[in-house]
């Protein structure tokens, strides 16, 4: 079946540091890949997505590139802010025709804390 593996957390950084959160996946076909962010007390919000190999999703200074050869979708930001403190989830949606088409498979989440 499908699976998503994120780097272990929590991650603690100082403001303006570089961020990488690793995400690798196992799926059949060509899944769509997503990063969601969850701020304290809130639901998940879509941060960015990519639907095919070599696509780069970007939003709010965050980027992730769909790498089919390494089955990865690592999240990066060049300079984090205190307001980026949240839980980040990598997820995939299987391509049409797959048995899990239409459902999201999530990684376990990575807690990010940014200090001033």
Partner 1 sequence: DADVTQTPRNRITKTGKRIMLECSQTKGHDRMYWYRQDPGLGLRLIYYSFDVKDINKGEISDGYSVSRQAQAKFSLSLESAIPNQTALYFCATSDRTDQPQHFGDGTRLSIL
User: Nearer Cβ to partner 1, position 80 or 93?
Assistant: 93
DSSP codes of every residue in 31-86: -EEEEEEE-TTS-EEEEEEE-STT-EEEETTEEEE-BTTTTB--EEESS--GGG-E
> Minimum Å distance from CB 103 to partner 1?
6
User: Nearer Cβ to partner 1, position 42 or 69?
Assistant: 42
Burial (CB count within 10 angstroms: exposed 0-12, middle 13-18, buried 19+), residue 51: middle
> Minimum Å distance from CB 81 to partner 1?
23
Q: Which residues bind partner 1 (CB under 8 A)?
A: 4, 32, 34, 36, 41-46, 49, 51, 89, 93, 96, 101-104, 106-109
> Minimum Å distance from CB 32 to partner 1?
6
């Amino acid at each position: 079946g499908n699976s998503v593996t994120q780097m272990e957390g929590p991650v603690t950084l100082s403001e303006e540091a570089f961020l990488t959160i690793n995400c690798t996946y196992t799926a059949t076909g060509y899944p769509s890949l997503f990063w969601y962010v969850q701020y304290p007390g809130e639901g998940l919000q879509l941060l960015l997505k990519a639907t095919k190999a070599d696509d780069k999703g970007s939003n709010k200074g965050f980027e992730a590139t769909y790498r089919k050869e390494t089955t990865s979708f690592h999240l990066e930001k060049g300079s984090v802010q205190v307001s980026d403190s949240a839980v980040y989830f990598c997820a995939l949606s299987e391509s049409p025709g797959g048995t899990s088409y239409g459902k999201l498979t999530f990684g376990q989440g990575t807690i990010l804390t940014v200090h001033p």
